[in-house]
Structure 1
Amino acid sequence: MTDALLDAHLVVRRGTFQLDVELRVGRGETVALLGPNGAGKTTALRSLAGLTPLSDGRLSLDDRVLDHPRGRVWTPPEDRPIGVVFQDYLLFPHLSARDNVAFGPRRHGVERRAAHAIADRWLDRVGLAEFGRRKPRGLSGGQAQRVALARALAVDPVLLLLDEPLAALDARTRLETRTELHRHLAAHPGATLLVTHDPLDALVLADRLVIVEHGRVVQEGDAATITARPRTDYVAQLVGLNLYRGHADGHSVDLAGGFTLTSTDSVHGDAYVAFPPAAVALHPHQPNGSPRNTWPAVLADIQRHGDNLRVRLDGPITVSADITPAAATQLDLRPGREIWVAVKATETRAYPAD
């Protein structure tokens, strides 16, 4: 990682919930913070922005300590070199787009004419030069998002925080805005933290992913690392894999309940075994031939998944499979249908749990 601008150990206690997360973001780097609802993503963002004080830990930005409870250091939000784009953008409804973007520089003591010049430059950079006089109610969702981004960047933040920045957009606008946002983040010289629940946003926009569950970091790394070796059910679902934990002895991984999966990978000790739904083949009868992993199952659920169907099967293990509508018709698939499952050992990936 490049020289870390953000170096934080965020500890926030709220009732029975405790966030305890270490975050480091380098110069020019975009890190995505992902996790299920209630994982602590928003709490982490609010503590960085100064909207929620730390209970313990330490927050340093560009070698400046902003929050350190034990050292009795606290910096209010307005004095932090941080720009924030909130999920609902929170543009000032009574101000024009130009005045919204100029608000930050004005708060930092920039004279009105100079602040408006800064706003004009940023509106031009986000492609909204002709919309400066419009108020938020006269902007589309994508335009409001770009004004919010311009407002955050107009103060030259050392750290840019993005809270679900594309969640409020429809699918088409989201695609276009994601591309624009990627361009702006690539040009941002500071550090960027993107809080999202959308894996596509994270994969497209971020250099590195940090996965949080129950207030703790459970996995972090680049997209290739995360997708190749998920370590929790949430991460496996995020990247679309079937994931199981067991005890390995060479090519065999023994799972709970006495079921064993075979892999071409050789592992010893606690291990994970993973495979994609597309690797799962379904048969009306017990198959013959090469598959090393076969077992009977009962179809529990079937749903459309893109151009194919995703089926969930119960048995010695619960597994998801992707099949074509034609195959589903041929197999007469319906909830309660008994069927055989096959997964080739070459399609599985086994790796140590530690």
Structure 2
Amino acid sequence: MDAHIVVDRGTFRLDVSLRIEPGQVVALLGPNGAGKTTALRALAGLQPLTAGHITVDGVDLDRPDLRRYVPPERRPIGVVFQDYLLFPHLSALDNVAFGPRRHGVDRRAARDQAADWLARVGLAEHARRKPRQLSGGQAQRVALARALAVHPALLLLDEPLAALDARTRLDTRAELQRHLAEHRGAALLVTHDPLDALVLADRLVIVEDGRVVQEGDAAAITAQPRTDYVARLVGLNLYRGRADGHTVVVGDGFALAAADRLDGDAFVVFRPSAVALHPHRPDGSPRNTWAATVTGVQRHGDNLRIQLSGPITAAADVTPAAAAHLRLSPGQQVWAAVKATETRAYPA
């Protein structure tokens, strides 16, 4: 699949390029309003392009300059919508058989294919149930089977796990990973959940304000985020500044010592867990030390995440015991310290 998706909607313009090879899963991530759903709708044929092109298996599905547009039902594309959108009056079997029937397969053969797909997703015994009789995880698997039953060249998944509770989500994510690995076509996963993206996708594409701001495999993006959104996504404190050797000046002239030597525009990052908090200015080894004010305290896994203001804003992860010892609460003055060896810099 090769696409240059340009869609104008009022004052908002989506302009992204996507390329997905057969057998590859790409995750499209971004904050609300970034354009993720618009991109998916354009690929599915539900939102015509303003400009650009969508080409699947060498066939143009949407190309405004050539007045070429293929309607949704004729595209070699399967879609799993966030709310699944199963036909409420049809059984699970007939929901899955719907696609093959629309592609000209006779009723008996379509139902045989549907039964095979339901068996593949572990729902053979639920074939006669209506959607209202299925759990969230079961409905998701029926929707996936329905999308895969037409052997799509491109599979689109719109927040496929968002409607599930935590336990069901864990199990369903593992099943979805297996089915995506077996799918021979290209797949695009639209999600706001970094864990879904990291587990399911081969490559990540980050979209903000209708533009691609970063793309690459998970290792590259988690190691070197380039926007605040991506930094929050991967759990890092990120700053942009000017590097001179091992020093990066950020914000209003605050200098951070970094392990990496650079010159010129640079990003500098460190993990919240690398930030140590002290009631008084610490002595000894930390190269990066500053006075800060606690602006927020939230639970974060087994630790507490402390939001700090000061010459730089930062997040620090501390144990509940350390928070109790320091009596951390909003408005409290503390000293923050990060070792230079825990601080990484890379070119902006």
Distance 2:327 2:72 in 1: 60
| SS of alignment partner, residue 329 of structure 2 | coil
Q: Indicate whether 1:297 and 2:292 are aligned.
A: yes
Q: Indicate whether 1:237 and 2:232 are aligned.
A: yes
| SS of alignment partner, residue 246 of structure 2 | strand
Residue identity in the other structure for 2:222? T
Match of 1:173 in 2: 168
| SS of alignment partner, residue 139 of structure 2 | helix
Q: Indicate whether 1:23 and 2:18 are aligned.
A: yes
Q: Deviations over 1:168-212 (max 9, x none)?
A: 000000000000000000000000000000000000000000000
Distance 1:256 1:95 in 2: 59
Distance 1:333 1:139 in 2: 46
Does the Cα contact within 8 Å between 2:251 and 2:311 map onto a contact in 1? no
Kindly state the Cα deviation for residue 330 of structure 1 after the two structures are TM-superposed: 1.0
Q: Deviations over 1:306-341 (max 9, x none)?
A: 111000011000010000111111112111111101
Residue identity in the other structure for 1:34? L
Does the Cα contact within 8 Å between 2:205 and 2:214 map onto a contact in 1? yes
Residue identity in the other structure for 1:72? R
Distance 1:14 1:48 in 2: 16
CA RMSD in angstroms, aligned pairs only: 0.5
Residue identity in the other structure for 1:145? Q
Match of 1:3 in 2: none
Match of 2:332 in 1: 337
Q: Indicate whether 1:143 and 2:138 are aligned.
A: yes
Match of 1:45 in 2: 40
Distance 1:141 1:205 in 2: 19
Percentage identity across paired residues of the two chains: 74
Distance 1:336 1:201 in 2: 36
| SS of alignment partner, residue 286 of structure 2 | coil
Output aligned runs, 1:82-97, within 5 Å.
Answer: 82-97=77-92
Residue identity in the other structure for 1:130? E
269, 273, 282: which one pairs with 1:287?
A: 282
Kindly state the Cα deviation for residue 237 of structure 1 after the two structures are TM-superposed: 0.2
Alignment TM-score, normalising by the size of structure 1: 0.98
Residue identity in the other structure for 1:166? L
Kindly state the Cα deviation for residue 258 of structure 1 after the two structures are TM-superposed: 1.0
Distance 1:329 1:144 in 2: 45
Residue identity in the other structure for 1:46? R
Q: Indicate whether 1:80 and 2:104 are aligned.
A: no
Q: Indicate whether 1:213 and 2:208 are aligned.
A: yes
Match of 2:309 in 1: 314
Gaps of 5+ in 2: none
Distance 1:144 1:44 in 2: 24
Distance 1:131 1:338 in 2: 59
| SS of alignment partner, residue 26 of structure 1 | coil
108, 132, 137: which one pairs with 1:113?
A: 108
217, 221, 227: which one pairs with 2:222?
A: 227
Distance 1:207 1:86 in 2: 21
| SS of alignment partner, residue 264 of structure 1 | strand
Q: Which stretches of structure 1, 4 residues or more, deviate above 6 A after TM superposition? A: none
Q: Deviations over 1:141-167 (max 9, x none)?
A: 000000000000000000000000000
Kindly state the Cα deviation for residue 267 of structure 1 after the two structures are TM-superposed: 1.1
Kindly state the Cα deviation for residue 300 of structure 1 after the two structures are TM-superposed: 0.8
Match of 2:127 in 1: 132
| SS of alignment partner, residue 140 of structure 2 | helix
Q: Deviations over 1:259-297 (max 9, x none)?
A: 111101011111000011000000111111111000101
Distance 1:202 1:156 in 2: 23
| SS of alignment partner, residue 252 of structure 2 | helix
Kindly state the Cα deviation for residue 27 of structure 1 after the two structures are TM-superposed: 1.0
86, 92, 98: which one pairs with 2:93?
A: 98
Q: Indicate whether 1:250 and 2:240 are aligned.
A: no
Residue identity in the other structure for 1:223? A
51, 54, 57: which one pairs with 1:59?
A: 54
| SS of alignment partner, residue 257 of structure 1 | coil
| SS of alignment partner, residue 284 of structure 2 | coil
Does the Cα contact within 8 Å between 2:6 and 2:51 map onto a contact in 1? yes
